[in-house]
Structure 1
């Protein structure tokens, strides 16, 4: 998401063009166009680049359509060839396609933008017919251009009732929308995790407990106090073993990198010698065996052993020999320690994982523990996978975690307030010419060559601001990882911290600074008139955000389509950085994902801005509608064709964003209350609107409290695992009578996942899609029949067609029944969620939530094969010197005729491929 950060940094400078056209009477339409036209041209160029590059870089623009690492049912349809061929699949697929093929987090991310678009669009229909005439017919002096459509053009008096009544209507609509989406989310999440695919996963039925007292660190105690317990993992964090495993893995990586440097240097040296005719080939012995290949000393890599970890100074050693000796020392030691750790019966530490027989039993345990916690253990999270656990944090005491949370939160609020200082310094650099006039000792800057000065005042501030804004969520992430027990909770903590930072720094400070800057001279001359002056000029600050929404929407959407970072790695950086088969394999196999904690606050803040200005400058709702819709289109493409999910919050980040959006309602109310209160100083006719807004504020607080209680009750009211029967009903509506004995359904597809197309297409949120042809994962009621990672035939998606649209009345009724709408979505995609993940082996079940250091094996060292025999020689030498428990190979990777590393791109044949269980 570097593109988003870059756009955000560029926006203040771009929108200054609007300000440059602002005279004392306000912004003009020409000033707005002078900003939007160049941004539109740039965005168009970026989008054209996407169209050109798309045909040549499938790995960048449609990896989900063919990537072998995905099972067939997880893939997207192959895009139609042609310059604009991608539009067919893009327009036909519905958003719930993402829910069935990717994850609930990705689906809700799209839904968030769709919800914001609808919120603002309806707001236009509510506010514009009333507030535009009210504002335009105002009689306030010194307002022209776009300012006549804002509240600053209206003098205090009866017309304030227009703003008050529209606030009741529009903000009431937003409150309903947030209530609906919150209830929709709870039911969607519940139904989703009750689907056969999800409830078969261990993580969906597992609860993490922390702060477990010593008397409760016993499996018998847990089974006695909770019903339906299937397995208990008592957490032990072997710190010394974990350090050794980390050192072993580093040594293995060092050996792999060192061997590849050696092989690359030797191969290139030999190829150059062959061109000159001076190459020396190894001779054969009398018994026919080949003598060892002599490697030039300059080709052997070396590194320094640092005296301190952060200081790369120390003794210089041969990288390959050092790595081998380290692995020779660590591999057998770790194997012995792991065996001892598995049979260690000492007192476990203060956390445990409890797997229950069912999802319902797991949630019931959470409720029971919350109501009557017999042993004071804290149920922290449900549904986390083992690789999301931060093991050092799960055993920290309550006092330690609580103290760290307080200190980190205090530091975040410090950032929220004082981050303005470095931003102001960067702003001063961009306007350094003015500083030289105010500060004489900086006059030497005037003698700097114009080209260099232009870079300093133009490019440097933008780069510094990009870096500065990127640092904030990174800092917050580092702090959250110090005490949160899982990566999902880290994302939610960052989201909770980063949102107020966005509201304060990006919105409030900018707004008040913009309003105050326009009247700073008048305030200095007459401080007593400051409130009235600010009240008049704050609505005018909306002109900045009118440009903000369009510029941000256009640039971010275009950059989302272009996918700049993956494209650069594909074209340039990957060839420079990926020097080993492992790096190329990881680059090819792994899909990128989004960081919810850093992303949601940025766009939630945009929603807050739109709400805050909705009634005092209603034009902003129209531009916000366009901006949000453009963002929706850009992210929609990536969710369909390019992105995976790196960290799952199980949709909770969406729920939190909805609650954070309420900040915009409160800010809108406070702004109107403040403006009306200031208006009382001029006329008592402002009292009525003020009373209306105060009543509405009280009603909002009451609604907020009631909604929180209703959501808590709804979360406790799990629909029961019978709700998942919708899947079975759709698969076999006649009790399985439509499935022939030979395993072929009436549509002629093999019985992997039998679609009932009529039921599927008739759903409110359904779409037609039959992935039965050559289905990789098959489940026929008797169990898992294996899976394949083979390529998906094109005919598999040949029958994609828009679903039959329900009547308008049906859609309206569904809109007012969010819980039923959530059930409809799950029903629509139920065939995709009907196949459970493959069964776990007994060992996989036993090791699910065991500390990784106890079960981790030494990584396989994978190098490329060379035609000169050096790779085989190195493999044999490493195996002999390191010994048992270590593996090294040069299979499935080689040097081509140009000395570049290549691999087969057959992932199941890759030495490091593992059919990892879907925990």
Structure 2
């Protein structure tokens, strides 16, 4: 096709009509239009209200889900504004469980950051951006008229206000973070963690694999060493324990099924139960063809008797191996218990060996759950190889998510795509309310589903915090921000408009998408936490279908403990989004205040935070340091936007502001370095100055033993009116000897339904 033919095709009446319709629609719905925003707000509020109503309606019917934990008087609902203010500002809460305490404090910290900013920045910048702005005649309408992109071309001097407020916001955040880190150090140094005196050390050289030689290396520290316990390779024993647990669950299932059939049969026969027990063919002696043929020829045996016999055999084998732990391979790692807690803290911070990799890492675990026992037996170079391989897998997984995340960002600006893609022209004919759902509700929902899937995959790879936040920050913030503005930028540049002016006008429009995202996340996460939707679904649907034994019901009712590495990054990412758009789109600040005020109201009760383990709040300083990422991105974005700002003559209007904002980036980095240098040595370990004032010097040290040495399988039998369960429990105790058998935790009705008693 020639150039003339191309020109003619582009200038055809139908093309002009389509372009005008699309442009008019885009003008009406620039960025995420008011209708999109209202659609998101109404949908989120409707779902939130529904979940809250359901919570108040059913919480009395499910006390096992919504039972409150005992609260101290400081956690009771406040009765006046004065007491509420004292509770919020001074935060005088019970510190018995530091993980709960510091999560509540983290939500309070984010609220303290955004509340003053919303009171100062929003009232100043909204009229600054709106009055005498570009407005619809230059392609800015809807919510965009309240943001950066609406500043009038003849009023570029107003950007000085943005610069000053940006500096004030950065200083405010830095001040808050310093104070919170100082408070964390003060609280932690007066907590039981200061009395930890058992150190785990890995990669011990072969010449030190003796208690006497190893103790001599730590004799320079105050006090004496009270115990040294070398770890051993208990993996063969762990496999036996897993086999024992599987047999115990199978036996409990067979016993429960037999009791259920007996009681239901008795109801049908007028109190005379009559039922045959299940039969089972024992496993094949080998996995080859000969073993399979032998298995097919075997006689079926009583299922319950078979599992009883196998469980007793495996249990006796476990007890025999436990009685001689010295027969297991000794590993180059050990637990060293000091008499003085300060000696343990000093040993963890001292260089012990001259060769790299040896005697590292050295940690002070707070509980047995902090230790991944399968990793105790690996060498230092194996640990490094695993770390590199894991990082490669996670990065590759995150890169695969770039395309769907970018498509979600494009979906939030779908009205602009109709000008570039012929097959999307049908979008122009949709009513405004449906476009609002397309652009405002659907993208945040899809993004939330994608993040949930990624976090679920990540939990199978790592157990520590850090990777998920990187994914959230890069994908949901950066990629979405760029892709959301890409469509409008490409269309306007193709129409012959200036690239710099187009970038300055359209890049801030991505902020409107995050209004929808923040609202949807806040209301959905808040309502789900209040309603405990995962446990409710498990109680109503999963338990009746899948849980047939007492143990299965107890495990389901208890639920899973909070994984801080998955739970906390969601809130950090929401805060970073607020940092990024605090100046670009100040309307987001009041919504951030509402979001974190909602979280504060929900999580102010410790019973909402479902966790039993207590790491001493170790996630708190890490989360505070992660907030600096939001500051860096904010400063880089403002620097770029200042450079892109143009006046009515098309000339650069904010070079001075851009240079000053660019200077803030290294200054923030220097401040961040000073913060880490000042606080990092104090975050985990205790200084020697508190040695004489330790309030927990008499705390008994923990005993760290792997589960393979300490665990025991428990068989739970439900009680019934006919005494069948009690009879089976007595037979089990006689047959199994050392295996605990409980019958006081549940009952079974004549219809076969199991009800927990606790």
Shorter-chain TM-score above 0.5: yes
Q: CA deviation at 1:118?
A: 1.4
How many corresponding residue pairs?
695
Pairwise CA distance, 1:611 = 0.6
Shift of 1:376: 3.0
Q: Is residue 653 of structure 1 aligned with residue 589 of structure 2? A: no
Question: 1:593, 1:331 → 2: CA distance?
Answer: 29
- Checking the alignment, whether the CA contact within 8 Å between 2:52 and 2:531 is kept in structure 1 is yes
Q: 1:41 to 1:269 in 2, by over 3 A?
A: same
User: Is structure 2 residue 313 aligned with structure 1 residue 329?
Assistant: yes
Alignment CA distance shift 1:135-1:657 (3 Å):
same
Q: Is the 8 A contact 1:360 1:721 kept in 2?
A: yes
State the alpha-carbon separation in 2 of the partners of residues 679 and 415 from structure 1. 37
Q: Distance in 1 between matches of 2:680 and 2:276?
A: 70
Distance in 1 of aligned mates of 2:524 and 2:706: 44
Q: Is the 8 A contact 2:333 2:377 kept in 1?
A: yes
Superposition deviation, residue 438 in structure 1: 8.0
Matched, 1:250 2:246: yes
- The CA deviation at 1:175 is 1.4
* Structure 1 residue 523, shift from structure 2 partner: 3.0
Higher mean displacement: 258-267 or 410-419: 410-419
Change in CA separation of 1:179 and 1:849 when aligned onto 2, cut-off 3 Å: same
**Counterparts of 1:421-440 in structure 2 under 5 Å?**
421-422=403-404
Distance of aligned partners of 1:530 and 1:323 in 2 relative to their CA distance in 1, 3 Å threshold: farther
Pairing 1:532–2:532 present: no
User: Paired residue for 2:754?
Assistant: 901
Match of 1:618 among 560, 573, 586: 586
Candidates 231, 241, 253, aligned match of 1:235? 231
Instruction: Quote the residue 2:667 is aligned against.
Output: 699
2:106/2:620 contact within 8 Å kept: yes
Residues 497, 904 of structure 1: CA spacing in aligned structure 2 closer, same or farther, 3 A cutoff? closer
Aligned-residue CA RMSD (Å): 4.2
> TM (normalized to structure 1)?
0.67
**Distance change >3 Å, CA 465–CA 262, structure 1 → 2:** farther
Aligned to 1:749: none
Query: Does 2:469 match 1:477?
Result: no
Question: Offset of 1:547 from its aligned partner?
Answer: 3.0
Gaps of 5+ in 2: 1-23, 424-438
* Structure 2 residue 491 is the aligned partner of structure 1 residue 521: yes
Q: CA contact under 8 A between 2:405 and 2:475: conserved in structure 1?
A: no
Aligned position for 1:381 = 363
Local SS of the residue matching 2:229:
strand
The DSSP-based 3-state class of the residue aligned with 1:355 is strand
Alignment counterpart, residue 334 of structure 2, candidates 352, 355, 369: 352
Contact 2:603–2:609 (Cα < 8 Å) also in 1: no
The Cα offsets for residues 794-847 of structure 1, whole Å up to 9 and x where unpaired, read as xxxxxxxxxxxxxxxxxxxxxxxxxxxxxxxxxxxxxxxx9998x79xxxx6xx
Matches within 5 A, 1:778-817: none
SS in structure 1 opposite 2:318?
helix
Q: Tell me, which stretches of 5 or more residues in structure 1 are unaligned?
A: 1-18, 66-73, 282-293, 441-456, 481-489, 726-833, 906-919
Structure 2 partner of 1:295: 275
Q: Which residue pairs with 1:219 in the alignment?
A: 211
Match of 1:497? 467
TM-score normalised according to structure 2 size: 0.81
Match status 1:415 vs 2:397: yes
1:607 corresponds to 2:575? yes
Counterpart contact for 2:341–2:697, Cα < 8 Å: no
Task: Please name the residue that 2:324 is paired with.
Answer: 340
Aligned residue in 2 for 1:394:
376
The 1:873–1:569 alpha-carbon spacing in structure 2 relative to 1, beyond 3 Å, is same
The answer to whether structure 1 residue 149 and structure 2 residue 146 are counterparts is yes
SS at match of 1:538: helix
Q: Secondary structure at the match of 1:324?
A: helix
Which residue number corresponds to residue 53 of structure 1? 58
Per-residue CA deviation, residues 258-310 of structure 1 (Å, 9 max, x unaligned), is: 11111112211221222xxxx646xxxxxxxxxxxx6325x5688988998xx
| 1:171 aligned counterpart, secondary structure | helix
Q: Aligned-pair distance for 1:878?
A: 4.3
The residue aligned with 1:178 is 177
The answer (yes or no) to whether the contact 1:211–1:395 under 8 Å persists in 2 is no
Q: Find the aligned partners of 1:47 and 1:583 in 2 and give their Cα distance.
A: 29
Instruction: Report the CA distance shift for 1:323/1:516 in structure 2 as closer, same or farther (over 3 A).
Output: same
Separation in 2, partners of 1:426, 1:663: 23
After superposition, the Cα gap between the structure-2 partners of 1:59 and 1:721, relative to the gap in structure 1 and judged at 3 Å, is farther
Aligned partners of 2:40 and 2:167: how far apart in 1?
A: 34
CA distance in 2 between partners of 1:428 and 1:672 (Å):
23
Deviates most, 628-637 or 135-144? 135-144
1:879 Cα deviation after fit:
5.0
Residues 342 and 686 in structure 2, CA contact (< 8 A), matched pair in contact too = no
Q: Quote the residue 1:5 is aligned against.
A: none
Contact 1:556 1:634 in 2 (8 A): no
Cα separation, 2, equivalents of 1:253 and 1:56? 29
Retained in 2: the 8 A contact 1:237–1:391? no
1:448 corresponds in structure 2 to: none
* Shift of residue 53, structure 1, vs aligned partner: 2.0
Q: Are 1:100 and 2:95 matched, yes or no?
A: yes
CA distance, structure 1, for counterparts of residue 370 and residue 314 of structure 2: 26
Change (3 A) 1:685 1:303: farther
Partner of residue 557 from structure 1, selected from 526, 534, 548: 526
Structure 1 range deviating more: 691-700 or 883-892? 883-892
Tell me if structure 1 keeps the 8 A contact 2:644–2:652.
Answer: no
**How much has 1:569 moved relative to structure 2?**
3.9
Residues 550-601 of structure 1 show CA distances to partners (whole Å, capped at 9, x for unaligned) of 333233223322222233444554444443333444556x475321111221
Distance 1:122 1:78 in 2: 25
Aligned counterpart in structure 1 of residue 479 of structure 2, from 509, 520, 525: 509
- Give the corresponding residue for 2:430: none
- Cα offsets for 1:84-121 (capped at 9, x unmatched): 99x9x9999879676434x2111111111111111111
- Cα distance, 1:235 vs structure 2: 0.5
Aligned equivalent of 1:132 = 126
User: What is the CA–CA distance in structure 1 between the aligned matches of 2:245 and 2:184, rounded to whole Å?
Assistant: 41
Closer, same or farther: CA 365–465 of 1 in aligned 2, 3 Å: same
CA shift, 1:138, in A, is 5.1
Counterpart contact for 1:126–1:169, Cα < 8 Å: no
Q: Using a 3 Å threshold, how does the CA distance of structure 1 residues 602 and 219 change in structure 2: closer, same or farther?
A: same
> 3-state DSSP class of the match of 1:295?
coil
